[in-house]
Structure 1
Amino acid sequence: MNSTIPLSTLYALIIDPGAIVAISSDGSSSRVLLETEKAPDGIYVDPASSTIYFSTMGKWGPDFYAADGTIESCKLDGTDRRLLVGNGETVTPKQLVLDREDGYLYWCDREGMRVMRCRLDGTDVKTLIRAGAPGQQEDATRHCVGLAIDKPNNHLYWTQKGPEDAGRGRIFRAALTPPAGVLPEDRTDIELLFDNLPEPIDLEIDPEESLLYWTDRGAAPDGNSLNRARITPAGCTDHEVIYRGLHEGIGLSLDLASRRAFVTDLGGTVRSIDLDGEHASKQIWHGGPLTGIQFVSVEENPGITLRNATAISNSQLNPSLSLCEA
């Protein structure tokens, strides 16, 4: 089947059964680009190189302690799938970010309790931050999940989500360029920005407004929400919850030109939320349990033909997924 999605496009991940999905930004059309088999979590789309980078958390099971996670890539139509990082090099890779200028991929490794990076071809794998030692994987306060980079200010932001619904989530900041000669577990430049959050997950920065956005999948009243705070040289201020009512909120991508955020949840919904005014929301699409998402504007989207893509049917989706497992 040949099909084209000419509008701005949302690239989203269905965790089970694992798949990369392309969705028109108005929700009118959607296609499965690639069945990933393993549970995908983080995604970053680079239209300039016609490449999708994505992470998978490894084999589905009662836990994710095995070092069988991967960082992979494929073309925008789902072809030319390539393994970049695997073979025991990462445990449970989560949110994934591209630094195209310097040629790096950054990601959080949840049960690996670390923040990592590699070159775009998968070489030079490096641990930047280590939040825990072997044997501490069950301590969810050490689990690194979401991240964002602020290159102009040389900052790296990440979340450590804490136990499920426990109100022990944290957000940190450190230098993007690691200090020479310092081990990742011994860094002294780490700043704690927020503590006792419900359960923070993915991050994104609005560089023009100096705002940090994040999703939270924790308990009410402030969990299952979209949040933001103002970034300052001294840390973050003016934290506000701008939307409540997600169903295990995970993925986040900003469309700053239209002043909206796209968020996903494990309940299977892609939702658009206005960044200004009353923060009106709109359900864009509903399918299987969703993790990462990336918005690509129509100006960036080169009229992609989704070769060999298959239309999504309800029979492909798994609504019975245990949400606490993702």
Structure 2
Amino acid sequence: MPDGIVVDVEAGHIYWTNMGVPNLNDGSIERADIDGKNRTTIVAKGDTHTPKQIIADKSAGKLYWCDREGMRVMRCNLDGSQLETLVESGHGESDSRDPKRWCVGLTIDAKRGQIYWTQKGPDKAGLGRIFRANLDIPVGQTAASRTDIEVFFDGLPEPIDLELDAENRVLYWTDRGDAPRGNTVNRASIDNKPAEPQILIRHLMEGIGIALNVATDRMYVTDLGGSIYSARLDGSDKENVRYAQGNLAGIAYAEIPKEK
């Protein structure tokens, strides 16, 4: 069950997460060339439980992802080495049955050295949250005991994947909860956080993936209803690029040069 995807155009690689069977500890991360060749597993089955959205910090040579039933935010080097747990929101089988602890989507603010992630909460419960913390665990603390974690937003329907417009300092995310606040795309300033996020797009069929192309003022969104949408960053000019594609999850934007 592949879920998250990220593209490294310069290195010619795509990375994706495999959720595995959610009640088993058998998730993995794979890499392949952009043409699909040289497929290899870089994070072995069971080294991550149920990996979801994945992102790359190419300047630091790191991959970051959320591990849902594993209740973790994790990272490793681009080759899969130096596997680390940055956040642990629960431990053990009992905790793993609590969706309030499930880590799903994430992004990083490289400028401030911070990470944002979602914990979706139960279906249609309005208990979703977005958290923020430093990229690195404070000295002397652990992934489970770190004290620098803050709640960025609380009481959201079901926040899923995150994207950051680093230039304009704006956080975007999908939400698959109930209308009117759910099944939406939302955004909020990360430096001047509003009391409530701005809803940009409504009427998704359980929104999941989101990718931004800030230079052309476009966003791309997927939902479990099988659609890919494109819209301006303010939510206007929405169009359905593809529909009835099955259950769609992660999406990435990349500009790949044509072969000469």
Flag whether TM exceeds 0.5 (same fold).
yes
What does residue 175 of structure 2 align with?
216
- Deviation readout 1:137-187 (Å, 9 max, x if unpaired): 110000000000011101100000000111100000000122222110101
Where does residue 308 of structure 1 map in the other structure? none
Q: Quick one: structure 1 residues 274 and 142, their matched pair in 2 at CA, closer, same or farther if it must change by over 3 Å?
A: same
For 1:275 and 1:193, the matched residues in 2 are separated by 21
Q: Distance in 2 between matches of 1:89 and 1:152?
A: 29
SS of aligned partner of 1:88: strand
Q: Distance in 2 between the 1:157 and 1:267 partners?
A: 26
Give the Cα separation in 1 of the matches to 2:179 and 2:26: 33
Is the counterpart of residue 184 in structure 1 residue 143 in structure 2? yes
- Cα RMSD between the aligned structures? 1.4
Structure 2 unaligned segments of length 5 or more: list them.
Answer: none
State whether structure 2 residue 68 is matched by structure 1 residue 110: yes
Which residue of the partner structure matches residue 211 of structure 2? 253
Q: Determine the C-alpha separation between the residues in 2 that align with 1:215 and 1:74.
A: 27
1:85 equivalent in alignment to 2:43: yes
Q: Return the TM-score normalized by structure 1.
A: 0.77
1:230–1:238 CA contact under 8 A, matched in 2: no
- Mapped to 1, the partners of 2:70 and 2:131 lie a distance apart of 17
Q: Which has the higher contact order (CA 8 A, sep 6+)?
A: 1
Using the size of structure 2 for normalisation, the TM-score is 0.96
Quote the residue 2:236 is aligned against. 279
SS of equivalent to 1:257: helix
Q: Deviations over 1:23-68 (max 9, x none)?
A: xxxxxxxxxxxxxxxx011100000000001101014xxxx12110
Corresponding residue pairs, total? 258
Amino acid at match of 2:106: L
Q: Is the 8 A contact 1:145 1:161 kept in 2?
A: yes
Partners of 1:216 and 1:304 lie apart in 2 by: 37
Query: How far apart, in 2, do the equivalents of 1:79 and 1:237 lie?
Result: 47
Q: Does 2:257 match 1:302?
A: yes
SS at 1:136 equivalent: helix
Q: Which runs of 5+ in 1 are unaligned?
A: 1-38, 306-326
Answer whether contact 1:230 1:237 (CA < 8 A) is retained. Answer: no
Paired with 1:44 and 1:226, the residues of 2 have a C-alpha distance of 20
Identity of aligned residues (%): 49
Q: Structure 1 runs of 4+ off > 6 angstroms?
A: none
Aligned residue in 2 for 1:155: 114
SS at match of 2:209: strand
TM-aligned CA distance change 1:84 to 1:236, over 3 Å: farther
Matched, 1:264 2:222: yes
| Larger Rg computed on CA atoms | 1
1:125 correspondence with 2:80: no
Alpha-carbon distance, 1:304 to partner = 5.5
| Structure 1 residue aligned with 2:105 | 146
Q: Deviations over 1:82-121 (max 9, x none)?
A: 1011232110000001011111110000000010001111
Is residue 154 of structure 2 the alignment partner of residue 195 of structure 1?
Answer: yes
State the alpha-carbon separation in 2 of the partners of residues 196 and 280 from structure 1: 29
CA distance in structure 2 between the partners assigned to 1:92 and 1:222 by the alignment: 27
SS for the counterpart of 1:141 is: helix
Give the whole-Å Cα distance in 2 for the aligned partners of 1:86 and 1:235: 38
